[in-house]
Amino acid sequence: MTTISIQSGPVADAAADALIVGVYKDGTGIALSPGAAAVDEALGGTLAETLSTLGATGAAEETTRVASGGKLAAPLILVVGLGDAGDGEVVGASGLEDLRKAVGAAVRALAGKAKAAIALADSGAEVLAATAEGAAYGAYTYDGLKTGDAADRKAPVGEIVLVTTTAPDDDARAAAARAQVLGEAVNATRDLINTPPSHLFPKAFAEAVEDAVRNAGVGSLSIEVLDDVQLREGGYGGLTGVGQGSTRGPRLVKLSYTHPEAQRKLAFVGKGITFDTGGISLKPANAMETMKSDMSGAAAVLHAALAVARLGLPVNVTAWAALAENMPGGNAIRPSDVLTMFGGKTVEVLNTDAEGRLVLADAIVAASAEQPDAIVDVATLTGAQVLALGHRTAAVMANDEEFRVQVESAAERAGEDFWPMPLPAHLRKTMDTQVADIANIGDRMGGMLVAGLFLQEFVGERAEGGQIAWAHLDIAGPAFNESGPYGYVPKGAVGFAVRTLVQLADDAANGLY
């Protein structure tokens, strides 16, 4: 686990294996960031010239290594590009996210080092928080089940020190502490997603959550797990139906956090298909290669709730993880089967590969019964989302415009990229069927929107009338990075949506909606 701390004093005196400084791209040359100026002075004003000689440009996330030559306490200077100089200040949510990415790239480049220091100027809490978060997200590797000497593999930086020229105030220390919690939540989410399906199936997933709750050391957390027998007896037709083709039965995990001063209650619902073959509607072989990541939504909502608890935010949060393995066994559901969902609604299954919405529907009905102020579901739900928005932008749909805008705002401030999508009423009619209340698929064109409309059918009513505010986050593209690492994002699991959910809970705690 990487630790993050703050210390004040001259950056040249910071004892570490490497010192990270930032530079800007300024026309045809390089402009030093305020944090790099003190390093340049210690080097006799030669840093920019040295970097130019080495071919550095200051482009965003570009890293260059420079030996300190004994003029600093750290033997190595890792210079990271911050992009175009502008006025030399980090401005707005996009500027903070660019900073996170640059710092993450620098920390990734230092894998194998025990300790790194990051030179900061006298920055406010926002800049310090973004720097700390980028470092925390960048300090991640997953070795999985590799054998051999661990020393031969480069571990992430173990200790990161943010060096400021003046003593940090309470806001700065709080920002660093929050970044530590967020980083651990994102990286724990990544670990779950990266775990092979041979080792992470519904029961194992539930046990991992129970361990995480015990290790969190927060007394206001409780957990309940329904096994396959309880789900069947309880009428959870979506989870039971999807899971019945596997020898490893489904689970529904409910993780609850309560705060005595809370005024708002949120429900986070996550899709947890621990492996998705498509069932009888079998996927092509190459489409299964990343299907261990089909539980990314469940991992995100659980670790977001744990982070909210660790931060002690005055808001009540319940996370629901709908866990199943979608296999084409002899007992698997068939196209044209009808399932009776939790709550009594019937669904004709026309495609067993549209299974995520079935398990989510059960969990959304269960969450609605507790009358939260809002429900957010998170799912790697549709290939149509990737076709529409690519691999780095997720979709958000909602039944309440004001709530959708709030989710988008939380995501932007957290540094995650979402794009609003509609829920056109005419597409709902394409899921009409003669034999059930609704079919699990409709018009193939607009499949992402059809999936959202399906889920909306299961959102409950408020006691005072009208549907509970609900948002659906389709993260199929951004959840798993199949290409090379970039910024603070590793290859493999990304841990997407955790930060947005925590920010949304923070907003609720502060009465922003």
- Pairing between strand 251-257 and 221-226? antiparallel
**3-state SS assignment for residue 472:** strand
Could you please report the per-residue DSSP string of 54-120? TT----TT-EEEEE-TTSSSSSEEEEEEEEE-TTSS--HHHHHHHHHHHHHHHHHHTTT-SEEEEE-
The residue assigned the tokens 């004040």 is 8
28 — phi, psi (to 5°)? Answer: -95, 0
> With contact defined as beta carbons under 8 Å apart, do 352 and 333 qualify?
yes
- Which residue from 400, 389, 396 is spatially nearest to 412, judged by alpha carbons? 396
Distance from C-alpha of 301 to C-alpha of 364, rounded to nearest angstrom:
13
- Which residue from 266, 268, 364 is spatially nearest to 315, judged by alpha carbons? 266
Catalytic member of 115, 173, 283, 392 = 283
Q: Sign of the C-alpha dihedral, residues 474, 479, 483, 489? A: positive
Q: Enter the tokens of residue 494.
A: 């990304």
> With contact defined as beta carbons under 8 Å apart, do 46 and 39 qualify?
no
Residue 462 appears among annotated catalytic residues: no
Burial of 434 (0-12, 13-18, 19+ CB in 10 A): exposed
- The C-alpha torsion from 356 through 205 and 312 to 401, rounded to 10°, is 0
Residue 190 appears among annotated catalytic residues: no
Give the start-end residues of each E strand in 399-461: 418-420, 438-439
Amino acid at 369: A
> With contact defined as beta carbons under 8 Å apart, do 477 and 394 qualify?
yes
Q: Enter the tokens of residue 196.
A: 């092979």
Distance from C-alpha of 318 to C-alpha of 454, rounded to nearest angstrom:
22
Distance from C-alpha of 60 to C-alpha of 25, rounded to nearest angstrom:
8
Distance from C-alpha of 80 to C-alpha of 56, rounded to nearest angstrom:
9
CB count, 10 Å around CB of 458? 26
Catalytic member of 178, 203, 292, 357 = 357
CB count, 10 Å around CB of 115? 17
Q: Enter the tokens of residue 358.
A: 């079935």
- Burial string for 389-400 (b: 16+ CB within 10 Å, else e) reads beeebbbbbbbb
What is the set of active-site residues? 283, 357
